[in-house]
Every structure is written in structure tokens, then in C-alpha cells.
Structure 1
């Protein structure tokens, strides 16, 4: 770095200290702070290691070698078996400092190997070009079949529902009085039960509880990945980038993934016309058997860098200090807490009567009902945005159910089921 004139010795020393303290890669810290391209940084890392640089996008890898190792393993460990030359398999990596950990396993499977450096973006692009169908299928089937909706028979459910409606209508004509009383009784029961539950949640707010642990900033800040699924959001894409750029968290520890559907050309063009910060990247989700938000999140999770995974919607305008608050809260509560749900507010609460009603509903739900349900020991139906998970727990659960459009509430139920 110093010999090539990219930085002074002092700046490199400071970056090295910060990277060591924060537990992140020195190369990433230098690249972000010095505004060096990923390709230039790969050249520097290769020169230090005494190996070459390969672009697997321009020079396609051998698909057979990739399938022999497995696309998921390659993504998780930032490696790519590229080609076989002169009796040796060349392995590409975007994390040279970790390659020694994989040498023995790779040698046992592939025989004689040597390695070279590439960029993370090129490595991911090459893997996607060779194994997108596999990755798309994994995104759709991450959740165990017994906990997923993918086996749900929608036609059978519709037939049962229509049969019940027809029976109710026929009963009204045949026995109007008893049927009306029965239907009214069922609706009244559910209304009273729902009101009683909300009343219990409100009452729980007045019960004293142990003072929660004060949020503390951990000695080493974790890498946080924020995933934002987008679909036909071209009009707000630029504003979204500006809002996320305002997040006050070290950029070398922040990983923002904008998830785009393959057929959404409008949003892709809008982002192409925007200069994304270096901690932000667009990930194109390939087409599959379903097109849902949870499927896009599962696909993005495969490429996420962070140990904490957050989810925002395109319309969100998070507080700049929110990520620091989340990290501090996770550090304070310990590993038994797997998920944090942020409180949501309506941005235009005072615009008209309807927006005031929405604002009141949001305030009641997130500040009274959900905390009350938690104190009662009930499961929490999560919202679809401003959610943060410990990655280890999320992957253990299989991520999101790609076939369930109420993936947020479903994930809350599965978190409760698995303790």
C-alpha cells in the first residue's frame, strides 16, 4: 500500500489498529477509508502473498469443480475452484488470510492445488453464473418441510372454505334464528377474547419488572448486514440509498444488500444511475417457482457478511443511531435473545384524520400490546421491517419460509417453538 502510493505509513498503521480492535479485515478497512477499488486492493493482497490475480467473470470457472465443492461452501468461505492447469486445481479466494484453513480439505477433495486472489464481487458473480438454479432452489427450501407452507394445498383449503360459507348461508335460510345466534356467538367470543388479551397486555405495563440491562457497546463491534428487498421501487430507490447512507455505524462493519428481482428492470436501472456507497451492493435474485419477499431474503442471506442480520423495507427512514442501539442491546441481553423488533411510527402522522388513526394504531401496537404480550410470555408476531436477528439462530431455523407471504409472523412463531 505504501510503496504503491495508496496511503501513508501513518494511515495504514491507524487502519491496522482499528481493524484489529474491531475484528474486521484490514483490506476492507483500507479499501473503504482510502476509496480504493476492490480490484486494486486484490492486486495489493496478491502481491503481498506472492500469487496472481484472476477475474472469474472474464475467465469462466470450471462448473464441475464448483459442483464438486458445493456453491454454499464456496460462498461461506470465499473460495472458488476455478480451473485445472498442469495437474493442479487453481483455487480463487477473496480472503487470502483465511485460505490456509481450507487447504487441507480442498486438497483432499481436489488433489494438488495452488491459489490466486480475486475480488468478492467477482467471486460471487462467478458462483451465481454457474449455480444460480441451485442457489434459487435452496432459497425456496431453506425451512424444513414440516414447518413450511410449500406443501400447503391451496385448492383444497379454498374448497373447504367455500363449503363452510355455503353451509352457513344454507343454514341461515333453513334455520335463521339458531344459525344467526350461533354466528353472532362465535364473533362475540373472538371479539371478547381479543379485547381481553389486549387489556391484559395493557395491565402488564403497570406491573413492576426487573430493570433491563443497560445497553453497552461491545469491545468489538460486529459486522451488521441490512437486507432491503425491492420490487418496482424505482421512484424511491435514490431516497432509500440516501437514508441508509446516513446510518451512523463504521462503514467497514456495515453491509447493506439491496435485493432486486431479476425481472425488475426499472429498479435496477434506477440503482445503476445512482452511485452506491462502497458498503452497499445490489444483489439480483434469480427467478424461481415463487416470487416472494422471504425468498429474496433467503437468497440474500447466502451472501450476507454480518453476524447480525437486519431487514428494512424500501419506505423506511431509520434513525441514524439505530444500528448502534441494536448492537448495544444485543450485547446487553445475551445470547438467549435471538431477535429485536424495532418500534415503527408513521412518518406523516399529522397529515389527516386517517394518518392519525394509523399513527395511533402503530403506537399502541408497538409500545403497549407487543411489550405486554412479551411480559405475558406469549409469542411475538414480528413485523415485516426493522427486524434484527442473530445470524446463527436465523440459519438454524432455516431462515424465512419462501412460500409464506406472512413470513414475519411465521418466523416469530418458529422462534417461539424452538425456544
Structure 2
């Protein structure tokens, strides 16, 4: 597509004023034509010029004032007279009103924006230029109370039964109280039959859990391989000019040291940087990370969103807040230390095109770039390889609701907004949203594109992270079993069974493991006579099958998990997974304690502890200098 006259004139101005070199101008014009964008959008995605310089020259070109909104503060009362969504989309705000005329600042001066300004504010206006970031921060300041309320209570007020703001409903308390009372009465009046019945339930649960996980691994891989080839072929044929604007949310809290890794990874995506709407989402009290983000002097496509302080202080609340400023047709979340594969966004676009119309989310795979650092990172890598490479494709194949991972899940923006996005009271908001999407009639896909991140190198840090995940699974289980008939009707019988074993089994196995381990120890020390009254032969044999064959199966699956990526050197470590299960049990009981005492507390995972982080930061810095 030929460069428009306005872009050509702005480019010539920048060249004549010595701001762009001849080579830079030629490259920018070629990209503008290839991407079907204006020259200014392309330049905002380059590191040749600071964003402030571009906006200064825009003001000069259009012969209008350049406003520094950090000094010339916009009138918040005036802003609140107009619709925040319209102003966000058009990137315009009224700054002041004098003698019946508005001074309106815009980050997109030009004929199209002038039409929008007249539609929103009327014809009695004076135009000025301000940076996109200044306009965004002015809107955030003026509408912080309403938008903060929406971020926290949007789901709870529109769909309260799907919100974890009430941890457990009265009806669930009654059912739980009844089950405990029935168990205690059984112990009092018929202790042996009661304990036998309990053993039957636990043994059947364990057997079902083993068989379900084996089935997932068995059915998932072959179909996934065929689909991966088709998606990769279509992604390779996508043209940059047809790609949509893509919003990237990067929620962070107190981790300034790893921010350069993510920003550099985003620059390396095989996607027009000028078509990325990147929001670095920070708590307004996190001064160190705010300062670090500003000191990076990022391209104009990066925008800092400051989340007002409110309870609960969670990642989903921050994402909900930033969502109100998102401009893309699609949205993805990346963590600060993430390194997505370069073609990931194109593969997602291709997947949406090939998938059914009700596909609302695509989950990419997660894994680690520091897998061999220590025993814990090896086990964490084996865990993720089993989960994302083998089990999630199996869930997709069987039509079971897919609990999303915490990063690299890609959404259709319209569906995300319709469902009020994430539950800020659920500390595993991604898993909850995956189940909620399925209940609402949407589909979640899984594709063969990986985002690499930093595996935890510290056991206490790992337990903090895993206990939060498990607590979130407990919350998710409680929320979606409030209406069991509705759950069964919306996800089907296979979906219901899968939900029970995949969500419920994740935390129940951690809570029940010590009981079975203790019984096994008693059996080894005192012999079978001690437990025979409570384990009739059929139950005893089934328990032995669980202990020997079931655990052997899980160890085997753990060992084969890395073979898909040809990480065969990790396979022998699978035999040590029992130690990892012990850590899971510790995390499960910590999660249960917090569910009762502090359900909405977001236990922070510290990143940047790996010895590989320094190398990643150096690589990011070297590439950044080369790009500049």
C-alpha cells in the first residue's frame, strides 16, 4: 500500500530538520507501506527517536502547541464530563475550557482525529499535541475511582455466583458441615465400616486420578502434532499489513531487575512492533519498578499503567484495571521475565482463523530457560513439560475445561470484556477464567508455541508460589461446584469428570498423600494385622495397585515428559519426583491454611534469583544498544 501524503510530508520534514537520516527515512517509509500504518506509528515503534521528539515535531508540523501534561495539568472535572472509553480510543482529552472554547490535546493529530474531536467535544475547540503516555495518565487520574471499582467488583456485581469474593456460600457450608457431621457420627457408632467407606472413596479417587492423567497423555499428543503443522504453515503466510493491533499486558510488582528481559523479548517478536499496544502494569506504590520502567526510555508503543491502591492487591485486579485502556483486537499476558517464541502472536492469529467461532482463548505452552540450574528447576521443568506439553492437549482433545496458565494466554478482546475478564479475588485467576469460559459456551485452544521463563531456584520461594496456585485451585473448585447441575450441563459429563480430577485432584492429592504415606509406614513397621480391619482384601489390593502401579505410572509420565522437546538429559531426574510430591504436600497444607485465614492474599514470587538472569539482562542490554 502506498504511503499516504501526510506521512510522506512528515517524513520529509523530519529529514529536512536533520532528525532522521536518509537510511532511517527509507526504512520507516518501507515499513509503513508494508504494515499499512502511518509513518508516525512506525517511528513510535523504533528506538531512533525519543517519543518526546516525535510529538514535538508533530506539533511543529501541524502548527499547534505541545503540552506537557505533567506541568499543564488537565482539569479532572472537565474530563469527567465526557466518556472515558471514547477518549481512550481516540487518544484525546479536554485540558481546559476558556470563554466557551475547549483546548483538546491529542496524541494523533490529523484530519481523522479532528473529525472525532468534533464528534466528542463539538466544533468550538483548539487543538494541541500531547504524548500518548501523558494522555493515558491524565485519564487514569481523572477516572481512578470508577475504574478501580470496576476492576475489583466488575465480575462480583454482574455475575456474583462466578466470583470468589465470597469464598464459600452458606449452602456449601451446610453441605460441608453435614458431611463432617455424618463422618463423626459414623466414627462414634460404626467406626470400622466408616473408615472402610472412607478408604473406598480415597482409593477410588486415587485410581481415577492416575487413569485420567494417563488418558490425557495418551490422547493428546498425536492430534496436537497434526494441528501444529497446519498452524505453523498458515502463520508463515500471514502478511504484516493484515495483522490486527495486539495488546500485551505485563503486570509487575517489585521486580524492576527483570523488566529489560521482557521488553527485549517483545522487540524480537515476529510482529510489527508498531501494531503492539504494550501496557506495563504497575502498582502506583511500586516506586522502584516505576522508576526502572521510565529509565529504560522505551519506545512509544510501551505505556505505563499505574494501578490505584485497593483491596485485594492481586495480579488479576491489576490486569482488569489495565484492560480498560487496551486498544487491541486481541490480548495476551506476559510476565516480566518471559521470553515468548518470536512467531507466537502470528501462530495465535492463525489458530483463531482455523478454529471454531466460539474459540475465545488460546493457551501457549510454558517452560523454563534455566532447567538445569539445580534439582528444583529440573523438577519444575519436568512438571511443566508434563502439564503443558502432554496433559493440556489431552484436555483439549477430550473437551474438558482447560485451566489456563498464568501467562501466554491469548484472548479475543470482545469476549474478555463481555465476561468481565479476571476474578480479582481468585489468586489463580487464569485457571478460573478457563473454566468460566467453558461454562459460558466458549472454547479454549492449546497450541505448540512456548514462552520460556525463569524456574524457581529456591524451595521457600517455590512453596510460596505453589501454595498460591493451589489455594487458587481450591477457590476455583468451590466457585464452580456451587451449581453442580449447571456445571454438568454446561461442560458435559467428560468435562465434569475432568474438572473434578484435574482441578480437585491437584489439591486433594497433596492433602491426602500424607494419610496414605502414614498408612504405608504403619504397614511396614507393624505388619498387615494393624490395618486389615479397615482394608478388606479388595480395597487392600486396589490400594497396593495405586501405591505401586499408580505411582510408577506417574513417575514414568514424568520421565517421558521432556522427550517431546528432546530434553532427554532430564528424564533420569523423574525418579526423584517423590521428593517433589513432598513439597507439593507442604504447599497444599499451607494453601488450605491461607484459604481459611487469608483467602485473597497474593503471595509474591520473587523473580531474578537465577544465575541465568544476569546473562539474560546482559543479552537484552546488548541487543538494545545495537537497535539504538
- TM-score bucket of the superposed structures, by smaller chain: 0.7 to 0.9
What's the counterpart of residue 201 of structure 1?
Answer: 216
* CA pair 79-274 structure 1, distance change in 2 beyond 3 A: closer
What's the counterpart of residue 119 of structure 2?
Answer: 105
Hey, what's the Cα distance between the residues in 2 that align with 1:279 and 1:6?
Answer: 20
Aligned 8 A contact 1:148 1:404 in 2:
no
Hey, what's the Cα distance between the residues in 2 that align with 1:265 and 1:51?
Answer: 34
Q: Deviations over 1:13-61 (max 9, x none)?
A: 5523422431334212124436223233223323433433223332222
Q: Is structure 2 residue 141 aligned with structure 1 residue 129?
A: yes
The offset of 1:258, in angstroms, is 2.2
TM-score, scaled to structure 1: 0.86
Q: Deviations over 1:215-266 (max 9, x none)?
A: 3342223333322211232443444445445444433233432221123334
What SS is found at the alignment partner of 1:96? coil
* CA pair 173-270 structure 1, distance change in 2 beyond 3 A: farther
- Greater share of residues in helix: 2
**Which of the residues 92, 99, 114 maps onto 2:126?**
114
Deviates further, 361-370 or 138-147: 138-147
Hey, what's the Cα distance between the residues in 1 that align with 2:318 and 2:46?
Answer: 30
What SS is found at the alignment partner of 2:278? strand
Structure 1: stretches of 5+ with no match in the other structure:
none
Q: Is structure 2 residue 430 aligned with structure 1 residue 408?
A: yes
* CA pair 307-156 structure 1, distance change in 2 beyond 3 A: same
Hey, what's the Cα distance between the residues in 2 that align with 1:383 and 1:404?
Answer: 14
Aligned 8 A contact 2:94 2:102 in 1:
yes
TM-score, scaled to structure 2: 0.59
Q: Is structure 2 residue 322 aligned with structure 1 residue 307?
A: no
Hey, what's the Cα distance between the residues in 2 that align with 1:242 and 1:236?
Answer: 11
The offset of 1:104, in angstroms, is 4.6
Deviates further, 187-196 or 271-280: 271-280
Hey, what's the Cα distance between the residues in 2 that align with 1:336 and 1:162?
Answer: 36
**Which of the residues 54, 62, 73 maps onto 2:86?**
73
* CA pair 25-181 structure 1, distance change in 2 beyond 3 A: farther
Hey, what's the Cα distance between the residues in 1 that align with 2:248 and 2:264?
Answer: 14
* CA pair 8-359 structure 1, distance change in 2 beyond 3 A: closer
**Which of the residues 413, 416, 425 maps onto 1:394?**
416
What SS is found at the alignment partner of 2:65? coil
Aligned 8 A contact 2:154 2:420 in 1:
yes
**Which of the residues 159, 164, 169 maps onto 1:145?**
159
Hey, what's the Cα distance between the residues in 1 that align with 2:304 and 2:57?
Answer: 25
What's the counterpart of residue 272 of structure 2?
Answer: 250
The offset of 1:296, in angstroms, is 0.7
What SS is found at the alignment partner of 1:374? helix
Aligned 8 A contact 1:258 1:282 in 2:
yes
The offset of 1:178, in angstroms, is 2.5
Aligned 8 A contact 2:133 2:303 in 1:
no
Q: Deviations over 1:157-198 (max 9, x none)?
A: 896588468534564344322221232233233333333432
Aligned 8 A contact 2:358 2:441 in 1:
no
What's the counterpart of residue 382 of structure 1?
Answer: 404
Hey, what's the Cα distance between the residues in 2 that align with 1:93 and 1:30?
Answer: 17
Aligned 8 A contact 2:259 2:337 in 1:
no
Aligned 8 A contact 2:106 2:128 in 1:
yes
Hey, what's the Cα distance between the residues in 2 that align with 1:99 and 1:272?
Answer: 28
The offset of 1:80, in angstroms, is 0.6
What's the counterpart of residue 223 of structure 1?
Answer: 245
The offset of 1:133, in angstroms, is 1.5
Hey, what's the Cα distance between the residues in 2 that align with 1:11 and 1:364?
Answer: 47
Which structure: larger Rg?
2
Q: Deviations over 1:107-163 (max 9, x none)?
A: 4xx573332221101111111222212221122233333454165255858965884
Aligned 8 A contact 1:215 1:332 in 2:
no
Q: Is structure 2 residue 202 aligned with structure 1 residue 183?
A: no
Aligned 8 A contact 1:234 1:266 in 2:
yes
